[in-house]
Structure 1
Amino acid sequence: MAHVYNTASSQTNFFARLRGLLRDIGAHWALARDYKRTFAQLDRLTNRELADIGVRRCDIADIARRHVYEA
């Protein structure tokens, strides 16, 4: 019969989970920053410029969201 001993300390597990959490938060902040930048760039365009590229002003938020989060 074989026995398996788990020797990983709980501190290592805690710090690994904390690092993972901080990495996830950083990734979320990066996506949020990209969304805000994309939104701002489109929002700065005039209605005429938006019409030239086929975008309505009310669609800017959806376009920015799709560009960042579904890319």
Structure 2
Amino acid sequence: MAYATHTSNTQSAFAARVGDALDTIRTRFERRRVYKRTLTELQSLSTRELEDLGLNRSSLNRIAYQAAYEV
């Protein structure tokens, strides 16, 4: 009589990879949304308000990127 001692479940492995890919995509969209929202809010500030915060307009992209991607 033969016994199967090793079985592989390729369908669940595939589902796990698809799930991981979807999580990655979701994370990237969320980070991009945070970046855009932060940049929009910073750009809406007046030059005076930015100066009060110690910022200038040329650094807004970098600040928004750091906020979204935690660099």
- Structure 1 stretches of 4+ with a deviation exceeding 6 A read none
The percent identity for this pair of structures is: 36
Take 2:8 and 2:23, find their aligned partners in 1: how far apart are those partners?
A: 22
C-alpha deviation, 1:8, in angstroms? 2.6
Partner of 1:32: 32
Per the normalisation by structure 1, the TM-score is: 0.85
Question: What's the counterpart of residue 54 of structure 2?
Answer: 54
Q: Which AA in structure 1 matches 2:17?
A: R
Q: How much is the aligned-residue C-alpha RMSD, in angstroms? A: 1.4
Q: What residue ranges of structure 2 are gaps of 5+ in the alignment?
A: none
Which amino acid counterpart does residue 34 of structure 2 have in structure 1?
Answer: D
The TM-score, its normalising length taken from structure 2, stands at 0.85
Q: Distance in 2 between matches of 1:8 and 1:23?
A: 24
